[in-house]
Amino acid sequence: MPRYVAFLRGVSPMNAKMPELKRCIENAGFDGVRTLLSSGNVVFTSRATSESRLEQKLEAAMADGLGHAFYTIVRRVDELNEMLTADPYAAFELMPGAKRVVTFMRTPHSVDIELPLEFDDARILAVAEREVFSVYVPSPRGPAFMALIEKTFGKNVTTRTWDTVKKCAAA
């Protein structure tokens, strides 16, 4: 059976306890459930089906088990590993101290933009079918890249650091 990662939008230790999240996903019939980093990353095994069907099932499980659902985007682990191996950042010269982030979308983007798109030390470098690859330099002003992503692609997305994606794919 394939292994999947569910990336949940807006999860933090303040609004979701990982043991409770894990339990409600297991109760929905998923196997090998593991949460990572207390930020809404759930790795699990399931029979092969569409990602959209898994997203619906996971959101229903959270609504039932937690009393509310988090917007969920699912990717197969093998798909994440292909993305990691391809390393879309390798084609770019990154700013010193830049952090790499991947924004996941449920459906292919329909935004026509000229790249790179920049705002306050954040740059969108590349856009794949359902992923956006950005970099930012941390600053006291906070995560400017999120304002850039949401302004460009809307709020029905979720973003992870490149290192978090690696950890999820390896789990």
pLDDT tens digits, one per residue of 10-24: 998 788 889 999 999
Of the candidates 47, 16, 21, 43, the residue with the CA atom closest to the CA atom of residue 32 = 43
Q: How far apart are CA 102 and CA 161, in angstroms?
A: 6
The pLDDT confidence band at residue 106, using thresholds 50, 70 and 90, is very high
- Amino acid letter at 142? G
Q: What is the pLDDT of residue 142?
A: 67
Q: What is the DSSP letter of 63?
A: H
Q: What is the pLDDT of residue 140?
A: 75
pLDDT tens sequence across 128-148: 989 999 999 887 776 678 888
DSSP element (H, E) containing 136: strand 131-136
Q: Is the pLDDT of residue 89 over 80?
A: yes
CATH of domain 82-170: 3.30.70
- Amino acid letter at 82? E
Share of the chain above pLDDT 90, in %: 68
147 Cβ contact list (under 8 Å, min separation 6): 119, 120, 122
CATH 3.30.70.1280 maps onto the chain at: 3-79
Of the candidates 8, 141, 128, 3, the residue with the CA atom closest to the CA atom of residue 68 = 8
CATH of domain 3-79: 3.30.70.1280
Distances (CA, A) of 17 to 7, 20, 55, 56, 61: 15, 5, 19, 21, 15
* Mean pLDDT computed over every residue of the chain: 91
* Mean pLDDT calculated for residue range 139-167: 87
Q: Are 22 and 147 in contact (CB under 8 A)?
A: no
DSSP element (H, E) containing 118: strand 117-119
Show the tokens assigned to 120.
Answer: 């306050």
- Residues in the chain, total: 171
